[in-house]
Amino acid sequence: MRTRPAARAGQYAALLAYLVFLAFPFVWLASTAFKPATELAGLHPAWIPQDPTLANFRQAFEEQPLLRAALNSLLTASAAALVAVAVATPTAYVMARHRSALARAATGWVVVSQAFPFVLLIIPLFLVLKNLRLIDSLPGLVLVYVVWSLPFALWMLTGYVRAVPAELEEAAAVDGAGRLRTLVSVTVPLLAPGIAATALFAFVTAWNEFFFALVLLKTPEQQTLPVLLTRFIGAEGVADLGPLAAAAFLATLPSLLVFALIQRRITGSLLAGAVKG
Amino acid sequence: MTSVTEARRSEPRAPGPSRRGRRAVDHGPWFLVLPALIPILVLSVGPLLHGILLAFTDAQSGRTEPTRWIGTLNFQDLLQDTLFWESFRIGLVWAVGVTVPQFLLALGLALLLDQDLRLRWAARALAIVPWAMPEVVVGIMWRLTYNPDAGILNETLRDLGFGGDRDWLSGLATALPAVIVVGVWAGMPQTTVALLAGLQNTPRELHEAAAVDGAGAWRRFRTVTWPALRPVALAITALNLIWNFNSFALVYVLTNGGPGGRTRLPMLFAYEEAFRYGQFGYAAAMGCVMVAAISVLLAVFLVGRLRGGDER
Amino acid sequence: MTRMPRRTRTTPVRTLVGAIALALLLAGCSSGGTRDDGRVTLRFQSLAWQQESVEATKELVDEWNALHPDVRVEYVQGSWDSVHDQLLTSFEGGEAPDIVHDASDDLADFAYGGHLADLTDLLPERLTSDIPEVSWQSVTFGDGVYGVPFLQEPRVLIADAARLRESGVRVPTPGHPWSWAEFRRVTKELSGDGRYGVAWPLKEPVSATLNLSLSAGGRLFHRDAEGKVTVRFEEGDAVVPRTVHEQVNTDRSASPTTLGSGGSDTLPGLFAGKYAMVPLGFSYRQQIVQQAPKGFEWQVLPAPAGAGGLAQGVSPQTLSVAEDCPHKKEAVAFLDFLLQPRNMVRLALGDWMLPTGRQALADPALRTPEHGWATGTALAARLRPAPAQSVRGYPEWKDKVATPALQEYYSGAIGLDELRRRLEKDGNLVLARYQR
């Protein structure tokens, strides 16, 4: 398709504007993270640190239990991701292959659950978990994250299951394999990349999650990264911009990494869900 | 290989009419559903019902007074609570104020990315960043940007000679707009990606045919692109609206509802009522009102979606 | 998708199951060690945050543990930022620490809600008599005493000494402070040319306003014969708010941009000469010492005085014991140790604050003119319990009604009548909900 040069130039200008808008806060975060305290206290901040330093990172690690929180986040997010896919895969399979009332109800729930504000959920959940003595414990948080990531996991996985030809399973069934065997030995391997993508997505969701962690985790040793990061912002405003930026910068890296890996897949299932949903 | 293509491939394979007849009676291996169903029932459906019941009690923190049924007293109090309705209004302004620009900007970006432009890869890569970032980090990042003395925004404004003496997040007039900008920034990429995927599903031949017919860019968009994009656009907008209305972390970090409650979204309000002042029953009533509001929004959208489907 | 080699076809499942087991195991392990080793373990949640005070507190905990092998105290780091929410959910969830560090204006709901232990019969005589009666008032709710007040800080003016000298204004002392009117004149004199006489960091406007208003005779909260509390905004209550409002909106002698800032945010402006004075808590001196550029001269001035003299409200920091704590006696013994006069001095120095204990306050280390310590200690006798702290519903009144109303008034969005209307009408509605 031909486009007039003027229009093309306009398109480039617009694209550039978008690039600037998308990038500049992140660039600023990175720049602040590497600035020495004297530059941060000055009244005329510059884009590029004149005297880049790792002092902020050191200070962040020294002053706050950053490693501990990162470990908590890692454990919670991995456990939640693994349990979520383990639990969701069979259900997604049934939802994709069978049109039973149960499957329909599950699909309905996936949609409806998006609409509920967390407050209505968190108050009773808090009381339930309190009775199970799971307040302030990572396993309790894992449970919540599993339930919380199930809707999207089901949504994604159902799409992947549909992409696996049913004929393959039927062939295996003809060979005399039982239902469960078929599922485990034929379908799951074909689904593996999809399951991995779903698990990674659930991982990032849990890694980034803040609200439930804020309400459910109490002692500092249990805190996850997002909760810890809000602790850097003192009661009287931001006291230490540098270490705050450094810690925030570090906390983002794993999410970015994982997202770079799976972005295309999520896009696909988002689309599939939106079109079919 | 992308799952966009997978999704496309899978479309025709969705259970066809011939198979559907056989499977309608087949309930499938129901036990496979249990591992997902039980946690959902125990930790999602159950608590929600419990939450609705709580709204009719005076449940509150402290152990000195027992919880009693109080009928609709909470809702009556809520009707009088001008602060809550103010917060509700702010919530609507926020949800619409974020969702609409988010959609328009995302649509623009998606259309650009659909073109054969040189810097496309950079934009695609950058689009991941806000999406992947923890909301808390997004909030912190923009706090650094908006910081009145050490922030880049004021510094840039100063350099350009626009004063640049504003405290964006704590000015009464600027706080909500400033927070909305962050909301748009944070949610735009996701919308862009969804719309882009939708665009790439529109039949290219139709576009070319229209171009050959001499249709201008706007007419091509109206007659070819938009009809194909409409279902995706509606779905993502409906989701955005709901997500935005329920959002919490971003504003919690940016302003914590201040200054003077100007950015106190309903979620924040209810959170404070429950976990700061310990008024669990009252907060649950707020949650119920929010669910009702969202259901209305959702219904409006679903009706729109169905009508859109009919037109096709 | 189908490129996966055949021979690995069962491994994903096995790996998955193994990984889940491992992850659950790890998550389970990390959720706290055993506490049943026969000894008493007390969890002490401290909110100390400045490096020196964290160190001082940790040292004291270590000393206690060395002396008392069978009553181990475990230091838990808390944060002022969200302490109320955090404690409320901890108490409700049954996971609260045994010994709780907080501030007296935050205790009412926990005390009335039955979450804190009444210490009346547990406190040793030494401690009860060392801390003055006014301080005990701030932790008395109903008939019980629900905490030990131990550190407090007056609000002072931190001034750019060179600017004051150049301008030739009279420098106030605790013996001869500025009046509010004089303060207004001085700030006007110090302003102009993009510079301001004062920068009010009023992110938390309510406690600052109410506490300073005591100096002008403000009370705001009035208890009637039946014990019901109502808000009345009278002339004495209006002096401080009006001064700030006029400085910002009429005289332009106070920076309008800092009204929403926290104290730390104003420091760069102070160092750069943009502001001549900043009203700050006494403990901010530590940050100033740490961050001020070389050659920056600063001094501590008393806040202005009014009809009430130099009186000022404070909400002392407190140490309380949870009602759920099974070893209250041991917990109080630890408090007694922590608040020995010489230990109180260490805590005070670490936090750059004033101790409540009479003996600790007499320590020469707290009376040196260096860093303005002497000015602060001279003000100690004028400190009163903050006006509203025993009022139920005060936190909600503060956050929902008073904070927005004062912020809007200071920024010039509403006038004094509207401020009065909101504080009284909206305010009394909220308070009524708690006093049914």
Chains interfacing with C (3 or more CB pairs < 8 Å) = A, B
Q: Is A230 exposed, middle or buried (0-12, 13-18, 19+ CB in 10 A)?
A: buried
DSSP assignments along B259-272, one per residue: STTTT--HHHHHHH
Instruction: Please name the helix (run of DSSP H) or strand (run of DSSP E) that holds residue B37, with its range, or none.
Output: helix B34-40
Asked if A263 lies within 8 A of B193 by C-beta distance, the reply is yes
Cβ neighbours of B261 in C, within 8 Å: 400, 403-404
With an 8 Å Cβ cutoff, is C427 touching chain A? no
Q: What is the pLDDT of residue C37?
A: 57
Instruction: Give the tokens for residue B272.
Output: 């404070």
Cβ neighbours of C248 in B, within 8 Å: none
Q: Which of B23, B122, B133 sits opposite A252 (nearest CB)?
A: B133
Asked if B260 lies within 8 A of C115 by C-beta distance, the reply is no
**Among B251, A42, B173, B263, which Cα is nearest to C256's?**
B173
Residue B282 domain-assigned? yes
Residue B250 domain-assigned? yes
H helix runs in chain A, sequence order = 5-33, 37-41, 55-63, 66-97, 101-113, 118-131, 138-163, 166-174, 179-182, 188-208, 211-216, 225-232, 241-276
Q: Which domain holds residue B281?
A: 81-311
Pairing of strands C275-281, C155-160: antiparallel
**Does residue B78 surpass a pLDDT of 80?**
yes
Please give the residue of chain B at the shortest CA–CA distance from A12: B117
B248: helix, strand or coil:
coil
Asked if C10 lies within 8 A of A78 by C-beta distance, the reply is no
pLDDT in tens, B138-170: 998 998 888 877 788 888 888 887 777 778 888
Q: What is the pLDDT of residue C32?
A: 38
**Does residue A265 surpass a pLDDT of 90?**
no
Residue B258 backbone zone (phi > 0: left; psi -120 to 50: alpha; other: beta): beta
With an 8 Å Cβ cutoff, is A52 touching chain C? no
Q: What is the pLDDT of residue B308?
A: 55
pLDDT in tens, C170-199: 999 999 999 999 999 999 999 988 899 999
Q: Which of A44, A88, A256 sits opposite B132 (nearest CB)?
A: A256
With an 8 Å Cβ cutoff, is B132 touching chain C? no
Please give the residue of chain C at the shortest CA–CA distance from A84: C20
Cα distance between residue B237 and residue A131, in whole Å: 39
Cα distance between residue C204 and residue C212, in whole Å: 13
CA count, 13 A, side-chain hemisphere, B167: 21
Query: N- to C-terminal Cα distance for chain A?
Result: 33
pLDDT in tens, C321-337: 999 999 999 999 999 99
Asked if A40 lies within 8 A of B6 by C-beta distance, the reply is no
Residue B95 domain-assigned? yes
How many other CB atoms are found less than 10 A from the CB of residue C148?
26
DSSP 8-state symbol, A237: E
**Does residue A175 surpass a pLDDT of 80?**
no
Q: What is the pLDDT of residue A103?
A: 67
Cα distance between residue C412 and residue C394, in whole Å: 25
Asked if A86 lies within 8 A of C16 by C-beta distance, the reply is yes
Asked if A163 lies within 8 A of B112 by C-beta distance, the reply is no
Distance, CA of C296 to chain centre: 27
Contacts of A117 (CB under 8 A, 6+ apart): B245, B246, B266, B267, B270, B287, B290, B291, B294
pLDDT-derived band at B18 (thresholds 50, 70, 90) equals very low
Q: C40-153+315-380 is classed in which CATH architecture?
A: 3-Layer(aba) Sandwich (3.40)
Please give the residue of chain B at the shortest CA–CA distance from A253: B133
Cα dihedral across residues A169, A170, A172, A177: positive or negative: positive
CA distance B244 to chain C (A): 23
Cβ neighbours of B123 in A, within 8 Å: 15, 18-19, 22
Contact C240, C213 (CB under 8 A): yes
Cα distance between residue A152 and residue A113, in whole Å: 10
Cβ neighbours of C265 in B, within 8 Å: 147-149
**Does residue B62 surpass a pLDDT of 70?**
yes
Chains interfacing with B (3 or more CB pairs < 8 Å) = A, C
Q: What is the pLDDT of residue C21?
A: 52
Instruction: Please name the helix (run of DSSP H) or strand (run of DSSP E) that holds residue A137, with its range, or none.
Output: none
Residue bearing the bigger pLDDT, A235 or A143: A143
Q: What is the pLDDT of residue A194?
A: 87
Contacts of C11 (CB under 8 A, 6+ apart): none
Contacts of B153 (CB under 8 A, 6+ apart): B145, B146, B164, B168
With an 8 Å Cβ cutoff, is C27 touching chain A? yes
Instruction: Give the tokens for residue C146.
Output: 């629900």
CA distance B5 to chain C (A): 11
What rounded mean pLDDT belongs to chain B? 79
Q: Is B221 exposed, middle or buried (0-12, 13-18, 19+ CB in 10 A)?
A: middle
pLDDT-derived band at A9 (thresholds 50, 70, 90) equals confident
Chain pair A-C, CB pairs under 8 angstroms: 139
Average pLDDT over residues B79-83: 83
Cα distance between residue C194 and residue C252, in whole Å: 10
Residue B63 domain-assigned? no
CA distance C148 to chain A (A): 22
| CATH assignment at residue B281 | 1.10.3720.10
Q: What is the pLDDT of residue B60?
A: 81
With an 8 Å Cβ cutoff, is B226 touching chain C? no
What rounded mean pLDDT belongs to chain A? 81
DSSP 8-state symbol, A222: G
DSSP assignments along A155-196, one per residue: HHHHHHHHHS-HHHHHHHHHTT--HHHHIIIIIHHHHHHHHH
Which of C35, C87, C95 best tests the A interface by mutation, with the highest count of A CBs <10 A?
C95
Cα distance between residue A233 and residue A38, in whole Å: 19
Cα distance between residue C189 and residue C218, in whole Å: 27
Distance, CA of B294 to chain centre: 12
With an 8 Å Cβ cutoff, is C105 touching chain B? no
Structural domain spans, chain C: 40-153+315-380, 155-314+388-434
CA distance A121 to chain C (A): 15
Cβ neighbours of A204 in B, within 8 Å: 132
Asked if B47 lies within 8 A of A264 by C-beta distance, the reply is no
**Does residue A238 surpass a pLDDT of 70?**
no
Cα distance between residue B278 and residue C416, in whole Å: 32
* Domains, chain A, ordered by start: 5-55 (no CATH), 65-276 (1.10.3720.10)
* Crossing angle for the helix pair A241-276 and B120-132, to the nearest 10 degrees: 100
Cβ neighbours of B262 in C, within 8 Å: 404
**Does residue A49 surpass a pLDDT of 70?**
yes
Contacts of A130 (CB under 8 A, 6+ apart): C92, C93, C94
Total domains in the fold of chain B: 1
CA distance C2 to chain A (A): 6
Residue bearing the bigger pLDDT, A38 or B47: B47
Q: What is the pLDDT of residue B2?
A: 37
Asked if C203 lies within 8 A of B170 by C-beta distance, the reply is yes
- Rounded to two decimals, the ipTM of the complex is 0.86
Q: What is the pLDDT of residue B22?
A: 42
With an 8 Å Cβ cutoff, is C112 touching chain B? yes
Cα distance between residue C424 and residue B14, in whole Å: 65
With an 8 Å Cβ cutoff, is B260 touching chain C? yes
**Does residue B9 surpass a pLDDT of 80?**
no
Please give the residue of chain A at the shortest CA–CA distance from C6: A189
Which of C2, C257, C391, C434 best tests the B interface by mutation, with the highest count of B CBs <10 A?
C257
CATH 3.40.190.10 fits C155-314+388-434, yes or no: yes
CA distance A68 to chain B (A): 18
**Among B87, B184, B90, which Cα is nearest to B138's?**
B184
CA distance B252 to chain A (A): 9
Please give the residue of chain C at the shortest CA–CA distance from A216: C89
3-state secondary structure chain C: CCCCCHHHCCHHHHHHHHHHHHHHHHHHHCCCCCCCCCCEEEEEEECCCCHHHHHHHHHHHHHHHHHCCCEEEEEEECCHHHHHHHHHHHHHHCCCCCEEEEEHHHCHHHHHCCCECCCCCCCCHHHHHHCCHHHHHCCEECCEECCEEEEECCEEEEEEHHHHHHHCCCCCECCECCEHHHHHHHHHHCCECCEEEECCCCCCHHHHHHHHHHHHCCCCEEECCCCCEEECCCHHHHHHHHHHHHHHHCCCCECCHHHHCCHHHHHHHHHCCCEEEEEEEHHHHHHHHHHCCCCCCEEEEECCEECCECCEEECCEEEEEECCCCCHHHHHHHHHHHCCHHHHHHHHHHHCCEECCHHHHCCHHHCCCHHHHHHHHHHHHHEEECCCCCCCCHHHHHHHHHHHHHHHHHCCCCCHHHHHHHHHHHHHHHHHHHCC
Cα distance between residue A140 and residue A117, in whole Å: 20
**Does residue A116 surpass a pLDDT of 80?**
no
Cα distance between residue C367 and residue C386, in whole Å: 25
Cα distance between residue A188 and residue C365, in whole Å: 72
**Among C86, C72, C88, which Cα is nearest to C36's?**
C72
Q: What is the pLDDT of residue C164?
A: 92
**Residues pairing with C158 in the sheet:** C278, C300
Interface of C with A in 45-84 (CB under 8 A): 49, 51, 76-82
DSSP 8-state symbol, B69: B
Residue B214 domain-assigned? yes
pLDDT-derived band at B177 (thresholds 50, 70, 90) equals very high
Q: What is the pLDDT of residue B19?
A: 42
Cβ neighbours of C413 in B, within 8 Å: 172
CA distance C21 to chain A (A): 9
Cβ neighbours of C97 in A, within 8 Å: 219
Instruction: Give the tokens for residue C105.
Output: 């204006």
Asked if B7 lies within 8 A of A116 by C-beta distance, the reply is no
Distance, CA of C410 to chain centre: 22
Q: Which residues of chain C have pLDDT under 50?
A: 1-13, 16, 25-35
Length of chain A: 277
Tokens 């910081």, located at residue: B147
**Pick from A70-74, A270-274, C196-200: least confident:** A270-274
Contact A146, A80 (CB under 8 A): yes
Which of A68, A207, A219 best tests the C interface by mutation, with the highest count of C CBs <10 A?
A219
pLDDT-derived band at A235 (thresholds 50, 70, 90) equals very low
**Pick from B62-66, B256-260, C304-308, C317-321: least confident:** B62-66
Same fold, C40-153+315-380 and C155-314+388-434: yes
Q: What is the pLDDT of residue C30?
A: 41
Asked if C264 lies within 8 A of A142 by C-beta distance, the reply is no
Cβ neighbours of C1 in B, within 8 Å: 1, 6
Asked if B13 lies within 8 A of A150 by C-beta distance, the reply is no
DSSP 8-state symbol, B96: H
Pairing of strands C221-223, C229-231: antiparallel
Q: What is the pLDDT of residue B7?
A: 38
Cβ neighbours of B63 in C, within 8 Å: 113-115
Cα distance between residue C241 and residue C406, in whole Å: 8
Q: Which of B14, B120, B129 sits opposite A256 (nearest CB)?
A: B129
Q: Which of C19, C261, C262 sits opposite A82 (nearest CB)?
A: C19
Average pLDDT over residues B7-20: 40
Interface of C with A in 264-283 (CB under 8 A): 264-265, 267-269, 271-272, 274
pLDDT in tens, B183-216: 999 988 888 888 888 887 777 777 777 777 777 7
pLDDT-derived band at B3 (thresholds 50, 70, 90) equals very low
